[in-house]
A and B are shown apart, each in its own frame.
Chain A
Amino acid sequence: MNFDGYDTQGFYDELIAPDGSPRQEALPLIERINALSAKDLRRRQKAAERVLHQQGITFNVYGDKKGTEKIFPFDVLPRIVPAREWAVLERGLKQRIKALNLFIDDIYNGQKILKDGVIPADLVLSSECYLKQCEGLSPPKKIWIHVTGTDLVRHSDGEFYVLEDNLRCPSGISYVLQNRAIQKRTLPKAFEAMRTRPVSDYGDHLYDALRHAAPEGVENPNVIVLTPGVYNSAYYEHSYLAQQMGATLAQGSDLTIIDDHVMLRTTRGFEKVDVIYRRIDDAFLDPTVFNKDSLLGVPGIMECFRKGNVALANAPGTGIADDKAVYAYVPQIIKYYLDEDPIIANVPTFICDDEKDRAHVLANLETLVVKAVNLSGGYGMLIGPVSTAKEREEFAEKIKANPRDYIAQPTLALSRTPTIVGDAIEGRHVDFRPYILYGESIFVLPGGLTRVALTKGSLVVNSSQGGGSKDTWVLGDEPRNMGDM
């Protein structure tokens, strides 16, 4: 298969320059793909899909009684991130996480930033994600956001922008690791030629970060992963991460509280837990404090956390910095705590709660993307340029009724990257989610999840809405030699 006739159609393309020639860093990859026949490439694509099916990395098709299971689509053409671009992203992400962590700690302890008038206090305190229950709380070592998966997009100007911070329970890392394992089998020669940086030690880094989060004085912490259970769509990931760390994977019903300590029910009796990598949202974590109807969480766990007997990663309450209206202030947050300018830019954001912004948004719905401040995953969104007049009217009403719940951003021309479509290679829009761990230091995994909108022209990359994924090759500076391994 080859790239003859590949057209970037005026979009920024991750592998191909505007004049149609391969970008310099992508050259060895493109050459090797060109050397494969269309049949051979298709065979490799099929083989990759078969592995995913065998490994049961599948989801059930809703409403299908026959129990048909589908894999999340995986495209064998990787996305690459050149070393010099990655160096900037890495610095930018570390800067952002450091500032956001300081912000969350401040918001629940003193609120200096609000008193100094950097962000309107109303905006923060009115957020649904502001947890009163966390006031005065300070997690071990003042780390709140142990695991982050920041959504980045590249615009037609060639620059990366932060779209969402995802400071609560970001998912998708298992696909990064699994995609890489499959990719290495699928295009081994191309992989070798590209000096791609490894991601397979994520489990070690995660385990270190979680151990670092342990309550003070705990010598050898018992680290577990808490999952809502086997019916959760990310269950595979929870199980995979537990396996990668050799940690116990527990459900709420496996845990109980004895004398303000969290205990596992084991065949040996009760066993104390020190650090919980919880993949349950704040609202379901503790029915005695949050959502009373939750059967997923552990009644009383917040009290154990408050007393410092157990660490929760991420800490409850981090959602305040995920609120899309608060997001608009991240550049000011970075400046305030670090006295630095942001290295990675924000997408310009209009806050509908602000009268002037709201007027602008309502007058320009056709060109803007409107988002609900508390939702992610592509839900509760209006994409102006592809919306109908009726949808715009509905959103205008929603915005007027609850202005605090909405923000708007210009529609970005997401970059594209070559993707296999039938017998041809065509450009498809992608985003990029790197993963950041906050332990003894801040670590950015050199890789990440590239989600691709498989539908022609679509900008929606979410797996629930026709998205697939690709392996992401962050390139190293120098050729690797055996001595580095």
Chain B
Amino acid sequence: MLSRVASSIYWMSRYLERADNVARFIEVNSRLILDMGWEREKAQWDPLVRASADEKSFSERYSEFTEKNVVHFLAFDTENPNSIISCVQHARENARTVREIISSEMWETINALYHLVEKQSRKRQPDDLQSFFTAVLNASHLFAGLTENTMSRGEGWHFARMGRLLERADKTTRILDVKYFLLLPTPDYFDSPYDAVEWGAVLKSVSGFEMYRKQFHRANYHDVAQFLVLDAHFPRSIRFCIDSAASSLNRISDTLGITVSASEEMAKLKAVLDEASIDTILSNGLHEFVDMFQFNLNIVDEALYTSFFALEKEV
């Protein structure tokens, strides 16, 4: 497979997953507002921007962390490279360059999603955002299903899966972080009744509430962290994502018959999660763990670049 094509498939998949997660992100807060009975005007919206580490880009163009500003910034701002509309645009441009590799159903799904987002972004008064975000998530599910059902399990499919899961791992850490930033003002809030409601909202935003309940029954800080960071079976947990990404990477290097530095970095990251205990993570601080994890994820991403995407002729 062409290096450029591998890279485009990987990024197509990553950007689409990113758009999906931004929609989930905004949903966390919307749910919290409803569940906690906050007044809409006084609700906190800044944690969303802080957790995605986009404060600088936000404050350059917006003065206040109002719902309207934050939602616009995260969903429709074409100058924010991580907004839903930018991600979908990037996913589509990447898909366009590999249109002959992916199935036409996959292409048409991305194309339809782009038109959906683009149309919504042009509305002066965005009505019914809830159903818009649901539509974005559904398109992402459809795309994942089509990838599963219409694409041969070759290199391309594994690059797509790896892109999707690495991005998802990253975003799950950030969704956990939203809660961290939300809590900052009142550290004594832990395990209060409100805390359970808040963790419930986090779980729902990653479609994990029901699966969590079956295992742990009641929502609390410790168990939610265990579930979203270290669970081996839930498809949005960080450990599950890294496990699956690592197995795709192994399949790719097996097929190609080569050993690459990316495998080594990925194995390190996998080992960290396999050996970690939630108690240690929490006593050292979940936010600090998230920081460390994101740092290592970037190393893996860079290693993938040098291992597969940037082939240079030896001179």
Contact = CB atoms under 8 A, between A and B. Distances in A.
Interface of A: 53-56, 66-67, 230, 235-236, 239-240, 242-243, 248-251, 253-254, 256, 258, 264-270
Contacts of A251: 4
A244 B118 CA distance: 30
A239 B107 CA distance: 12
A310 B2 CA distance: 19
23 contacts: A54-B112, A55-B104, A66-B122, A67-B118, A230-B93, A230-B96, A235-B96, A236-B99, A239-B99, A239-B100, A248-B2, A250-B2, A254-B2, A265-B311, A266-B3, A266-B311, A267-B1, A267-B2, A267-B3, A267-B6, A267-B155, A267-B311, A268-B258
* Secondary structure class of chain B's binding surface, majority of residues: helix
Given A55-B108, A267-B155, A254 B4 contact: yes
A239 to B, nearest CB: 5
Nearest to A224: B2
B1 A266 contact: yes
Contacts of A266: 1-3, 311
A269 B311 contact: yes
B99, B107, B111, B256: most-surrounded residue (chain A CB, <10 A):
B99
B100 A249 contact: yes
Contact of A253 (B4, B93, B96): B4
A384 to B, nearest CB: 42
A226 B178 CA distance: 46
B115, B122, B311: most-surrounded residue (chain A CB, <10 A):
B311
A242 B6 CA distance: 16
B26 interface: no
Nearest to A245: B100
Interface residues of B, number: 25
Interface of B: 1-4, 6, 93, 96-97, 99-100, 104, 107-108, 111-112, 115, 118, 122, 155, 252, 256, 258, 308, 311, 313
Contacts of A254: 2-4
A56 B111 contact: yes
Nearest to A255: B2
A201 to B, nearest CB: 18
* Secondary structure class of chain A's binding surface, majority of residues: mixed
Contacts of B111: 54-56
Nearest to B159: A267
Contacts of B100: 239-240, 242-243, 249
B2 A264 contact: yes
Given A266-B1, A266-B2, 9 more contacts: A54-B111, A54-B112, A55-B107, A230-B97, A236-B99, A240-B99, A243-B99, A267-B311, A270-B311
B183 to A, nearest CB: 40
Nearest to B89: A67
Given A265-B2, A267-B1, A258 B313 contact: yes
Contacts of A265: 2-4, 311
A267 B99 contact: no
B108 A56 contact: yes
Contacts of A67: 118
A265 B108 CA distance: 28
Contacts of B6: 267
Contacts of B99: 236, 239-240, 243
A254 B112 CA distance: 29
A240 B101 CA distance: 10
Contacts of A66: 122
Nearest to B109: A54
Nearest to A69: B115
A56 B107 contact: yes
B3, B93, B118, B258: most-surrounded residue (chain A CB, <10 A):
B3
